[in-house]
Structure 1
Amino acid sequence: MQIELKELERKDYKKAIDFAVKGMHFNQYIENKKELYLYGKYFLYMEMQRATQMVAAYMGENLVGLVLADVKGESKRYQSIGKGLYVKVMELIMKVIVKDPVSSYDKANKKMLQEYKENANLDGEICFVVADPTIQGKGIGSYMMKELERREAGKRLYLFTDSNCTYHFYEHRGFERVGSQDIMLQLGKKEVPLTCFLFSKRMVGENEVE
């Protein structure tokens, strides 16, 4: 079935959350299913609040993938009071109750980005990339990234990922690994070893050669 690219429909928010939870393996950090869904919702809403570009992939009426990017000089078209309030409440809960267990993750990403910016001019961030984990080999992720490259041709974008995700996908799409850092997430009594990665690429337009 042909892939159609368009805006994310509100009815598919829950499906996008499910893709993020499974594709980014949030279940390794959060065991309770309700808390897992609430965190996935927080993650989607947080990135939608930042996004200036959205590429949602559909097969028929079914959402099969989503890419969000935050590019300098472009308007943030997906913000809303409701999403913003939800993000703020969740951040307060995580800070007060959970004691911000992913701070080491954020610190690693911040350090890598600061070091990379010393020698690179960046135009924006690809902040959310998910695809239906039950559908493989259809080129959904590549199709969405190609559309983003068409829209942002000539701009250098970066993204964060980690060893718990399918980071090799970006290497196969021409992204350069420009930073990496090993960390240990402390989740209560549980420790999760992880490698954080920073990737970057100058977006290639239709008339350019990668």
Structure 2
Amino acid sequence: MAGVLMIRMAHEKPVDYSVGKQVIITVGKAVQRLVTGRKDAYSMANEKMLAAYRQEKVPDSELNFFAVNPQHKGQGVGSFLLATAVKDLHDQEIYLYTDSFCSYQFYDHRGFEQFAASPLSIEIGSRKVNMTAFLYRRHFETLK
């Protein structure tokens, strides 16, 4: 697989999961809360940026997963996936989270605006790592 991109549309009906899948998802989330015992700094930074964003904008969509196989980096796969995914987003506001460990510059070059940035320190294993979390946004105009 060269890459994958997923957008959650605010006005679309969510996928109906079977009862079994719903149970697995619910249990997984509960275990995650028990293990962490609290929200991590990354999640809290994202929630804070989203709250500020929602005071100014009304999002229609969230780009919530975007990955390109490293073997295909620089070959236009990400640009193709993004262009294909947003070709029907007319007069829609979209946002996404990314961070300084990702290729956030990709969005800078494709018309997205960095709405907010939040420096933070997270623990990875036994060491603290400094990074910056970002919220990017873009309004896709109606085609004339």
Q: TM-score range by the shorter chain?
A: 0.7 to 0.9
Q: Which amino acid counterpart does residue 35 of structure 2 have in structure 1?
A: I
Q: Corresponding residue for 2:105?
A: 168
| Contact kept? 1:104, 1:183, Cα under 8 Å | yes
Q: 1:130 to 1:83 in 2, by over 3 A?
A: farther
**Residue pairs, 1:34-53, within 5 angstroms:** none
Does 2:5 match 1:67?
yes
Structure 2 unaligned segments of length 5 or more: list them: none
TM-score by length of 1: 0.61
Separation in structure 2 between the aligned mates of residue 108 and residue 203 of structure 1, nearest angstrom: 26
Instruction: Find the counterpart in structure 1 of residue 132 from structure 2.
Output: 195
Preserved CA contact (<8 Å) 1:149 1:204: no
- Give the TM-score of the pair, scaled to structure 2: 0.86
- In the alignment, does 2:25 pair up with 1:87? yes
**Cα deviation, residue 147, structure 1:** 1.3
Helix, strand or coil at the partner of 2:72: coil
Shift in Å at residue 136 of structure 1? 2.3
What secondary structure does 2:53 align onto? helix
- The SS at the match of 1:117 is helix
Q: 1:116 to 1:97 in 2, by over 3 A?
A: closer
Q: Deviations 1:158-201 (Å, cap 9, x if unpaired)?
A: 00000111111111111000000011113563322120000000
Counterpart contact for 1:150–1:204, Cα < 8 Å: no
Q: What secondary structure does 2:12 align onto? A: coil
CA RMSD of aligned residues (A): 2.1
- In structure 1, stretches of 5+ residues that fail to align are 1-62
Q: Distance in 2 between matches of 1:126 and 1:70?
A: 6
Q: Which has the higher contact order (CA 8 A, sep 6+)?
A: 2
* 2:48 counterpart of 1:111: yes
Question: CA 1:65–1:84 in structure 2 vs 1: closer, same or farther (change >3 Å)?
Answer: farther
Count residues with an aligned counterpart: 144
Q: For each residue in 1:67-122, what CA deviation from the matched residue of structure 2 results, as whole angstroms up to 9, or x when unmatched?
A: 1111121122374445443333332222223435x621111011111112212221
Choose from 90, 93, 112 the match for 1:153: 90
Name the CA shift for 1:97/1:116 in 2 (closer, same or farther; >3 Å).
closer
CA distance in 2, matches of 1:167, 1:82: 36
2: CA distance, partners of 1:83 / 1:166: 32
Looking at secondary structure, tell me which structure has more strand per residue.
Answer: 2
Percent identical pairs in the alignment equals 28
